[in-house]
Amino acid sequence: MDMVKVNSMDFGEFVDVFGNIVEKCPLIAAAVWSQRPFSGLEDLENHFFAFIDALPRSGQEGILRCHPDLAGRDLQQGTLTAESQHEQSQAGLTSLDTDDRLRLQQLNAQYRERFGFPFVLAARLSDRATVPRELARRLQCQPESELRTALGEVKKISHLRLTDLLGAHSHSAR
Ligand SMILES: NC(=O)NC1=NC(=O)NC1=O
């Protein structure tokens, strides 16, 4: 898919294609559509990021709360979105033994208890050994800086999902 195609999409098509760039937040794609035409992947991505950055704290925390836990209930029940399923299996989280899964569940609960939003990390850039280590490390951070870190991970996830759709080679619109 190239940018000429993207820039020609009507609202419905655009949200169908880009509605899950940010997990379960189709509103962001719905808002970004009105910024077309986009000069390339980076321009499109920057509009997603600008929307996130402009939200009040409640909105930013809301985005984090739309993310399913890593190796959590959704994964167990098979109710993850296709993108999340792919990302979590890439990190080896679909084949954890019970001890590792329960430890992650416990850390996720501690993290959510402390910050009021779930632990979010770009799973495709991580693996089953790194996730619990990163979770334990970030558990010690201050809320303000942790919100920024978590949003940074949302942006990494969005970047990978956009690249899947547009290909890193997507040419700028002529
Ligand atoms: N809580 C999370 O970090 N969830 C996720 N990270 C990903 O990369 N995919 C997810 O579902």
For residue range 64-89, what is the model confidence (pLDDT) as tens digits?
999 999 999 999 999 999 999 999 99
Q: What is the Cα–Cα distance from 132 to 85, expressed in whole angstroms?
A: 18
> How many domains, in total, are found in the chain?
2
Domain membership of residue 142 as a residue range: 68-154
Cα 1 from Cα 41, distance rounded (Å): 11
Residue 171 annotated to the active site: no
Q: What is the CA radius of gyration of the chain?
A: 17
Segments in 19-142 forming alpha helices (H):
26-32, 41-54, 57-65, 73-77, 82-90, 98-115, 130-138
**Does the beta carbon of 151 sit less than 6 angstroms from any atom of ligand 1?**
no
In the predicted model, is pLDDT for residue 173 greater than 60?
no
Q: Give per-residue pLDDT as tens, 46-55.
A: 999 999 999 9
In a domain, 174, yes or no: no
Which of 70, 117, 131 for a ligand 1 pocket mutation test, highest count of atoms within 8 Å of Cβ?
70
10 and 87 part of one domain: no
